Structure 1
Amino acid sequence: MSSGVKTVERNKKARHEYFIEDTLEAGVVLTGSEVKSVKDGKVSLDGTYCSLDRKGEMLMHGAYIKPYKQASHFNHEPRRSRKLLLKQRELEKWADAASKKGYTIVPLEVYVRDGWVKVKIGLAKGKDVRDKRQTVKERESERKLRDVKHAFNR
């Protein structure tokens, strides 16, 4: 078993589209071919979101996991919904928070920790156009400041 954490995929759009107010680590129910594809880095979180179903289980929708080439006809469906593993009290807390107007749950990153595939999910509140512009301005000003400091230290 490998030790440590290896980040496989980050949802870069999530931080641009939403204010992330809280994060949580969740396990994912995957088939064998999905685990192999994720460990190979063949996963995409674009357009992915999470929701609670009628049974009270958290599901991740829209994540793309490329079919594993060596799995032949035992392969998986690339965009199926996948169950997230959370404790009951965490599920209840996040369901309450996500039910408020303007909130949703989005996957932020997929990583492998000690051989187990994990997903970091975030409680997100949508940004409007002004907020997105402000975020871009702040990022650019920080980049310019960092470049000036770097040039000054030479």
Structure 2
Amino acid sequence: MSAEISKNRKARHEYHILDTYEAGVELKGTEVKSIRAGKVNIADSFARVEKGQLFLYGCDIQPWETAGSWFQHQSRRPRRLLVHKAEILKLEQQTAQKGNTLVCLRMYWKNRRVKIEVGVAKGKSITDKRHALKDHVEKREAQREMQRFNKGH
């Protein structure tokens, strides 16, 4: 069972997602409490392979109000992502190709642990975005027409 914490809706609009990976997140105690309270934003987050490890940047986890100042965490600090070494090597090869990047797609709970879905992505052009939006609108209108037709019969 996985309960979604946060989702990056902008990512699927801005990028073609080529492949997805699941990664654990190394967190502090106050960060977990803030995530449980829903004070997390992954809209601008991305991952990068550095020195054989995978790090998450731009993930905004707000400080927990009731913690003392010595227990607080920085809201936008780099966080280490926990994946197998073979996956790190694959991700490093895929991001070495021109135009590919690692984008955070969603954050969710899995067996009482916080997981991040990271996608290998390639940027869309403006025309691709327009076509995707046009297809989405057409599908929505067709679905409405079908519902209206089925409601009458």
Which residue pairs with 2:119 in the alignment? 122
Q: Which runs of 5+ in 1 are unaligned?
A: none
Contact 2:59 2:76 in 1 (8 A): yes
Unpaired stretches in structure 2, ≥5 consecutive residues: none
Structure 2: how far apart are the matches of 1:30 and 1:94? Answer: 22
- How many angstroms does 1:72 deviate by? 2.2
User: Residue 60 of structure 1: which of 50, 56, 61 is its match?
Assistant: 56
Counterpart residue identity of residue 65, structure 1 = I
What is the percent sequence identity of the aligned residues?
Answer: 39
- Larger CA deviation: 86-95 vs 67-76: 67-76
Q: Which residue of 2 aligns with 1:70?
A: 66
Q: Which amino acid aligns with 2:16?
A: F
Counterpart residue identity of residue 57, structure 1: Q
Counterpart mapping for 1:5-154 below 5 A:
5-53=2-50, 55-73=51-69, 74-154=71-151
- Residues 39, 112 of structure 1: 8 Å contact kept: no
Question: Are the aligned partners of 1:45 and 1:63 in contact in 2 as well (CA < 8 Å)?
Answer: yes
Aligned residues: 150
The alignment's C-alpha RMSD in Å is 0.7
1:12, 1:99 → 2: CA distance? Answer: 25
Q: Distance in 2 between matches of 1:8 and 1:25?
A: 14
Cα deviation for residue 70 of structure 1 reads 1.6
Q: 1:114 & 1:123 partners in 2: Cα distance?
A: 25
Query: Aligned partner of 2:67: which letter?
Result: A
Which residue identity is paired with 2:68?
Answer: S
